[in-house]
Structure 1
Amino acid sequence: MVKIAPSILSADFANLERDIQRISTADYVHVDVMDGMFVPNITIGIPVVASIRKTTELPLDVHLMIVQPVRYVEQFCDAGADLVTVHVESDTEENIHAALDKIHAKGKRAGIVLKPKTPAEAALPFLEKVDLILVMTVEPGFGGQKFMADQMEKVSALRALIDQRNPGCELEVDGGVDPVTCKTCIAAGANVLVAGSAVYKAADIPARIAELRG
């Protein structure tokens, strides 16, 4: 079954608990953490993740768009993240491995993220270690961008690698996912879809989540 991870970047932050309750039929709560350095935007940090943890039983899928994430992954795990993903572009290969190890040592799931210009091959050093690979289908940093269909070739390549070398690994897509593009993502091999505005701007959120499952 395809899993849906609504991004709270599109929620009303003045009513965050309410908006997290509205996505209770989803599979993950996707939490975008931006530091203003790795991406040109600043969002939320560890205290907000800890607050979110108290409002939902859903797993927290925490996407770190920060430089040198190895510095903070343990704190995000302690704050209540169930899955922490780090960008392969955000540090050295050695430090990305160290970040993944720290996440696993906390008993949590660990993943890597690839920006649009990053090739599928960048995942190879981490393929056997990760629980999820996230392919960005927009440039990370802001919500509401147009879906990059040219990333589907990367998704298909990663699906083949995952099936061959780490079948338990999930393959997630984030950026511009809506009731049309979700079908393209699923056909390419993604099994977790992040959707922000497509969920939160829907008149009927549970119906939209069901629709995005394909």
Structure 2
Amino acid sequence: MLLLTSNAYNIFWLGRYLTRIHFLCQHLPLQDDEHAKQLISALYLPAYDAASLTALLFDSEQSYSFSQQFSIAYDNVQALRGILSVQSYAELNAMFKSAKSNAVAICQVISDVEAVLEAESQDIFLFFSLGKYIEKLDQALRTQQECHDSLEKLDILANALSDYGWEDYVQVWQKFKVQPDLSTFNRLNAHLQQMFGVVT
């Protein structure tokens, strides 16, 4: 299946949003203020301790809340209805509707949502994985954690993207690997947006 650029972009961001939610779910329950402050600083969140960060994530009115992020991911699924298999779309629709604005339910269902998407066609899997590991790399760099696994996965994906005429991205990726930090990541991310036809 040959994906339209707009579909590939939606799949990419679906991978990023779901991975972002999953990352924060893994830190619950937030009880250590110092750990919470590290997350707040790394992700530039408007909170100041474990309690305020938890309140932020569980407040459906906040843009970085589980509910808001999950809602955006659901919008991406709706935009992809025409290219997802009938079974996958039905499963995803049911999962999103069952969790809705319930933060605890969202954290419980997020792995199942990812599994459905990763079982889709090769093209969907490719761009979903690209979004997933770009987000993981972003998180690791921001929180100053080891990122070897994400670098390995993105290296494999870069080779696969060569078949899509993404040689320019592959060259930028190779340069990024020489000095993988937030500054070079921002340039890589900007180039990715250009590959999707998004003006930054």
Identify whether the pair has TM-score above 0.5, normalized to the shorter chain: no
TM-score when normalising by structure 2: 0.32
More strand by share: 1
Q: Which has the larger radius of gyration?
A: 2
TM-score when normalising by structure 1: 0.31
